Structure 1
Amino acid sequence: MDQPHVVEVADRRGSAVAEGVEAPLSFVDSLALNGHYAWSKTLQVQTAKCFLLNGLIFLGSIYLFEYLLRPSLSFFTTWFAVVSWLDMILTCAYQILWVYPIYCLSFFLNAIWYQKVADHAYCLREGKSANAHISFDRLVNRITDEVYRTLLFFNYLVFVSCIYTLPLIGPLASFVYTSWIAAFYSFE
């Protein structure tokens, strides 16, 4: 995948688009363009940010809690008869004070970072910027939308956690509601 081949494919595609005809790319040409665009600095930076936040911080903290902190505390609390309610309090505090805020922050930041990737992809495809001018009103509207979306999903997560504690039907109802949230999120 050398640079002249990628430029040749882009030029061929650009001339076809300029003529008003969308020329389909071959599989090899498509791979060449995708490989070339994947080395874009914007995509690398946004991907690294998403991996750091979602992979290391968010999932790493869950892993540490579930497989290190929680078993360690249960080992020390086995001498007391209060293990079950202490574990429940610790888990709820961890969920409310750490997981949900990190999830909301992750949701908010990922929306911003993915928008940068989409804008960059649009710029690469069309040759012009999607957002040439970002006004103050547009920025305020975007922040407002993201805050609303974050609070909405935070409420959904709290509700799912509460439903899960219901006897007998809790886990199934929680699964159905979580599926509904995922469907909403994917179409949103």
Structure 2
Amino acid sequence: MVLEWANDAFRLYWTGVQDALNVYWPAYYAIKSEKIRKASSRCIVLNGVLFIGSIVLLHSGLLPLLHKAGGLVLGARGDVASAAHTVVEAAVGALYQAFWITPLYLISLLMNTIWYSRIADAAFELHHGVKVAVGVDVTIKEGMYRALVLVFYVLESVVAYQALPVVGPLVSTVLVCWMNALYSFESVWTMQGLDLQKRLLLIERHWPYFMGFGTPVALVSSFWSTFIGLGVFAVCFPACLIQATCSTFGRPDTVDEEVTGLPAPRLPIFRLSTRCSDAVLRGVNDVVSAKKRR
């Protein structure tokens, strides 16, 4: 029984990994759609060349050059001169990050959102056709709730990494895998008319597959420092959007289906984050209601 369960779970997990690594659909739609091609190219240039390149330039070019120049100027002038040189290097690095890397990252967040939306819309139109119309008020309310859920979910991942001995990094990585899958699939699910609760339910129903789908990007991003990892994720994400759009898994008509062969048909991945979000919203509503009664 246990071996059968493990085999079924791994099969679904490996299917997700294969779908995430399948480059056919991203390449095909990049060739077919000028909108996808332009948005993806701009995303690669901004995140891969400009953003990551700026970080590499700082650590592999500017700081080593400054260190070498300082050594030539100061020579062997004692510990005080060496300490001053170290302070200068740290100050240059901090200023470079504060006035170039951080603003560039914030700009990339805005531009990535625009480009990802264009890629998702174009891929959906090519693969599925017309998307389901959703009201603006519903979109705004759901967007606010989604932001809360994701904030608490990220906090879960951070706490797991810091608080759990030995297994903390593994648990955190698994949580990130599911979050990556949600990011990738929620555009197509939204355009198919699924609300947030059903999107989360699909992840929980088919958790082995979505853990597999989110694994490649999670691993590739984790090999680097925080900023470079974010840049790598941003470069890879257009392909993830297209792969999710073309995936035969997680269709809206399977939202209520149980996964055959798994002892836990639904893994409550987002239960804690949704309950925390609900508690926050209830608290806000109570405060607003109390002010209205005064």
- Normalised TM-score (structure 1): 0.52
Matched, 1:55 2:48: yes
Structure 1 residue 130: deviation in Å? 6.0
**Residue 100 of structure 1 aligns to which amino acid in structure 2?**
T
**Residue 59 of structure 2 aligns to which amino acid in structure 1?**
E
Q: Distance in 1 between matches of 2:23 and 2:52?
A: 31
Q: Distance in 1 between matches of 2:25 and 2:69?
A: 57
Q: Which residue of 2 aligns with 1:172?
A: none
Q: Which residue of 2 aligns with 1:116?
A: 118
1:101-144 deviation digits (Å, cap 9, x = unpaired): 1111112211211111111111112222567x997x899x6xx9
Contact 1:122 1:130 in 2 (8 A): no
Report the CA distance shift for 1:104/1:138 in structure 2 as closer, same or farther (over 3 A).
farther
Q: Distance in 2 between matches of 1:31 and 1:54?
A: 20
Find the partner of 1:103 among 92, 102, 105.
105
Structure 1 residue 34: deviation in Å? 6.0
Q: Which residue of 2 aligns with 1:38?
A: 30
Aligned residue runs from structure 1 range 12-161, under 5 A: 36-39=28-31, 40-78=33-71, 79=74, 80-81=81-82, 82-128=84-130
**Residue 118 of structure 1 aligns to which amino acid in structure 2?**
A
1:141-184 deviation digits (Å, cap 9, x = unpaired): 6xx98xx99xx9xxx9xxxxxxxxxxxx9xxxxxx7xx68x939
Gaps of 5+ in 1: 1-29, 157-168, 170-175
Q: Distance in 1 between matches of 2:51 and 2:23?
A: 32
Highest RCO, 1 vs 2 (Cα 8 Å, sep ≥ 6) = 2
Report the CA distance shift for 1:35/1:61 in structure 2 as closer, same or farther (over 3 A).
closer
**Residue 102 of structure 1 aligns to which amino acid in structure 2?**
L
Identity of aligned residues (%): 25
CA RMSD across the alignment? 4.0
1:73-128 deviation digits (Å, cap 9, x = unpaired): 11222213311111111111111111111111112211211111111111112222
1:46-81 deviation digits (Å, cap 9, x = unpaired): 111011101111111112221221111112222133
Number of aligned pairs?
Answer: 129
Structure 1 residue 35: deviation in Å? 5.2
Q: Distance in 1 between matches of 2:34 and 2:127?
A: 16
Contact 1:58 1:103 in 2 (8 A): yes
Q: Distance in 1 between matches of 2:117 and 2:25?
A: 21
Gaps of 5+ in 2: 1-21, 75-80, 156-161, 163-168, 184-294
- Normalised TM-score (structure 2): 0.35
